[in-house]
Amino acid sequence: MRTILVTGANRGIGLEFVRQLARRKPTPAFIFATCRSPDNAHDLRAVADTHTNVKVLKIDMQNESTYGPVVEAVSNMVGENGLNVLINNAGVYSKDGYEKVSREMLKDSFDINVIGPMRLTQAFLPILKQGARSSKVESFGVDRGAIINISSGFGSIASNDSGGNAGYRESKAALNMFSKGLSLDLKSEKILVLSQCPGWVSTRMGGPHASRTPESSVSDMLTIFAMCSEEHTGCYLRNHIPLEVLPY
């Protein structure tokens, strides 16, 4: 992975992606760590202070006017090498069941978890294609080009046996459909597209009783990304090694 952009990088899984990518060998040329409030992203800024390849940029998934300036800034920094990997990580969770969920929560879930990743990917596609085309790697993989949508096991229709989480489940199922459809559209470009479940992770979203730490979740996801090739594009993956495909 040479140049990577992560959304929701100020805390939780997104911040841990940036921390681990910054320490990774070979060192990525750029890690674009985006969040909606860079001024308040103290933990993220601390990583950027010690790793000059980490660039903190503002993207609010719900405000498309924040996308263009970042596409431009990233383009200027990466030049002809383009962008290698986009990790659509930012997301919101809803606990409510179907009897209680508000219209506002449903709208936010779809706006942040689906429409945002779709529109942001669209905005970055020209430089993602440039990244893949300019790569020396000719086969599918994160070293050529990848779009990774951080989904959730809750997005699986086939394995939903407990209901609830109205809006969250539906939005992640829709995100999965986006991954599948986009993988077909980008097959000719040999750009890998994945829907990746991070597992149940102890972040503000996952809570303190989660079974995994952000450190182990992200470390395993980075191993999984590196293991993926053409046969995995469009797949929905559990955070498990060896690779385990979830049913949509």
Kindly state the smallest distance separating residue 207's Cβ from ligand NAP, in Å: 8
Question: Does residue 18 interact with ligand NAP by CB under 6 A?
Answer: no
Helix (H) or strand (E) holding 51: none
Kindly state the smallest distance separating residue 151's Cβ from ligand NAP, in Å: 7
Kindly state the smallest distance separating residue 98's Cβ from ligand NAP, in Å: 19
Question: Does residue 167 interact with ligand NAP by CB under 6 A?
Answer: no
Closer residue to ligand NAP, CB minimum distance, 12 or 28: 12
Sign of the dihedral defined by the CA atoms of residues 227, 35, 117, 154, in that order: positive
Amino acid at 117: P
Alpha carbon distance 80, 65 (integer Å): 24
Question: Does residue 115 interact with ligand NAP by CB under 6 A?
Answer: no
Q: Which of 82, 167, 198, 234 binds ligand NAP (CB under 6 A)?
A: 198
Closer residue to ligand NAP, CB minimum distance, 13 or 132: 13
Write the interaction track for ligand NAP spanning residues 60-79; mark x where CB under 6 A is met and - where it is not.
Answer: xxx-----------------
Question: Does residue 117 interact with ligand NAP by CB under 6 A?
Answer: no
| Alpha carbon 95 to chain centroid, angstroms | 21
Amino acid at 175: L
Alpha carbon distance 87, 107 (integer Å): 22
Are the beta carbons of 190 and 144 closer than 8 angstroms? yes
Q: According to CB under 6 A, which residues from 26 to 45 bind ligand NAP?
A: 35-37
Amino acid at 76: N
Alpha carbon distance 150, 130 (integer Å): 23
Closer residue to ligand NAP, CB minimum distance, 58 or 133: 58
Kindly state the smallest distance separating residue 155's Cβ from ligand NAP, in Å: 8
Q: Which residues of 96-128 are buried (b: 16+ CB within 10 A; e: fewer)?
A: eeeeebeeebbebbbebbbbbbbebbebbbebb
Question: Does residue 92 interact with ligand NAP by CB under 6 A?
Answer: yes
Binding site for ligand NAP (CB under 6 A): 7-8, 10-14, 35-37, 60-62, 89-93, 112, 150, 152, 197-198, 200-201, 203-206, 210
